[in-house]
Structure 1
């Protein structure tokens, strides 16, 4: 068998996330079904991690094993033709048999897009704010996140977590007219973590929460301070990084 690393782009608007579910339509489920149809055999696609319903990806990574001698380019041409415009496999690479899309990843990077007014052409890929925000406060909050912290207070409980510590390598906002983009890179992310960070930072920037309370949630995850979760539609998994 030959193992392939796939880079996948998808619009998550009408999907219930990446991971296969018994009844809901997911990206992984649709891709496995189409690959199996093209290859006339069952295919197991292993992703680097899950994404929530409504979240998008520019660089989701997955791996799969195919029989030696498979014409991978022909297979991908068939898959991309059948799977529809919401999902496309944009790159492939032959990798060592020991490669694992999830366990070999060393960091991930997400981008969240906010608009300061409703922009119709971006409505499925951004969070339109109805109130003004203090950009300086957004930047101050983002700067606080660089380093290693316990993000239990900014995530959804998951009993499978062996730790809630995450090391943030990059955290910053960039503004271009009516569009504000937040970029964050870390060694790992918890469920809802990016969306909850963005939502809570926006609350601070709108004067609905103090930056001191934001710091406290970061330093004391058990503090009974409510956080806010931003809509899924503004979030994009940009890139997954691996050792060279």
Structure 2
């Protein structure tokens, strides 16, 4: 039987989601806990990979288990075993062919920029002393929805077969002392959101013109876009699936 795990984590303590040698990852930490509970290896597959330092308010992963399980009891056990930086929000059964990565129809990220030095925000936002022109940033963000090829915002060394993504929402807004950028698409490339935010900040600082966004995207050249901002301000906030995967 296949189950989805809905989880959240503080990425500060981990070297990203994906298992890798000589580094602690979220995936490995959860797999180790499942292995203790079930007394066998329990590989899990995530909806995507977050880089080192990136946080998640919601990430979905799937794994297979022989027979039906008490999901409430498993959630309780996992939350007791896992470190404080990881929380299991829910566990539920899905159809046998449901895939956490390939069946996701949308993903949403938020990036937080702090306009005021705050010791309680320094691990979860990018502190920027200079004032930003948010109107220009939102004008440039709207341009993103006109394109589908985002190679210019992708890491050069990546194993993807296509750089196409359909962005359906991209917008900045003010939340108290924070500037928050929300972006939603069917998929994202590695480093894509952080590169987009870095480029929009360059426009907000008026180091670039809004119309340059067209040229950057059309160039398909990473060096033409802005620098990637710090990982600590980035949160994966939502992963959406069709209801047809549910039982």
After TM superposition, the score normalised by the length of structure 2 is 0.94
In terms of mean alpha carbon deviation, does 6-15 or 221-230 score higher? 221-230
Asked whether 1:112 is paired with 2:123, we answer no
Residue of structure 2 equivalent to 1:39:
38
Alpha-carbon separation, structure 1, partners of 2:54 and 2:103: 23
Q: How is 1:17-96 mapped onto 2 (pairs within 5 angstroms)? A: 17-96=16-95
1:82 to partner: Cα distance:
1.1
Residue of structure 2 equivalent to 1:206:
205
Alignment partner of 2:224: what SS?
A: coil
**Residues 89-117 of structure 1: CA distance to partner in whole angstroms, max 9, x if unpaired?**
10111111111101111111111111112
Taking a change above 3 Å as real, the CA distance of residues 82 and 165 of structure 1, as seen in their structure-2 partners, is same
In terms of mean alpha carbon deviation, does 206-215 or 125-134 score higher? 206-215
Query: Does the aligned pair in 2 maintain the 1:110–1:238 contact within 8 Å?
Result: yes
Number of aligned positions between the proteins: 243
**Residues 27-73 of structure 1: CA distance to partner in whole angstroms, max 9, x if unpaired?**
00101011111221110111111000000001100001112143332
Query: Does the aligned pair in 1 maintain the 2:27–2:44 contact within 8 Å?
Result: yes
5+ residue gaps, structure 2, are none
1:224 to partner: Cα distance:
5.3
In terms of mean alpha carbon deviation, does 119-128 or 7-16 score higher? 119-128
Query: Which protein is richer in strand relative to its size?
Result: 1
Residue of structure 2 equivalent to 1:153:
152
After TM superposition, the score normalised by the length of structure 1 is 0.95
Q: How is 1:112-191 mapped onto 2 (pairs within 5 angstroms)? A: 112-191=111-190
Alpha-carbon separation, structure 2, partners of 1:24 and 1:143: 38
Asked whether 1:221 is paired with 2:220, we answer yes
Query: Does the aligned pair in 1 maintain the 2:112–2:179 contact within 8 Å?
Result: yes
1:170 to partner: Cα distance:
0.6
Taking a change above 3 Å as real, the CA distance of residues 104 and 141 of structure 1, as seen in their structure-2 partners, is same
Residue of structure 2 equivalent to 1:102:
101
Alignment partner of 1:172: what SS?
A: strand
5+ residue gaps, structure 1, are none
1:223 to partner: Cα distance:
7.9
Alpha-carbon separation, structure 1, partners of 2:44 and 2:138: 38
In terms of mean alpha carbon deviation, does 153-162 or 40-49 score higher? 153-162
Alpha-carbon separation, structure 1, partners of 2:147 and 2:87: 34
Alpha-carbon separation, structure 2, partners of 1:118 and 1:31: 34
1:178 to partner: Cα distance:
2.0
Taking a change above 3 Å as real, the CA distance of residues 67 and 236 of structure 1, as seen in their structure-2 partners, is same
Query: Does the aligned pair in 1 maintain the 2:107–2:238 contact within 8 Å?
Result: yes
Taking a change above 3 Å as real, the CA distance of residues 188 and 158 of structure 1, as seen in their structure-2 partners, is farther
TM superposition outliers: structure 1 runs of 4+ over 3 Å: none
Alpha-carbon separation, structure 2, partners of 1:149 and 1:3: 33
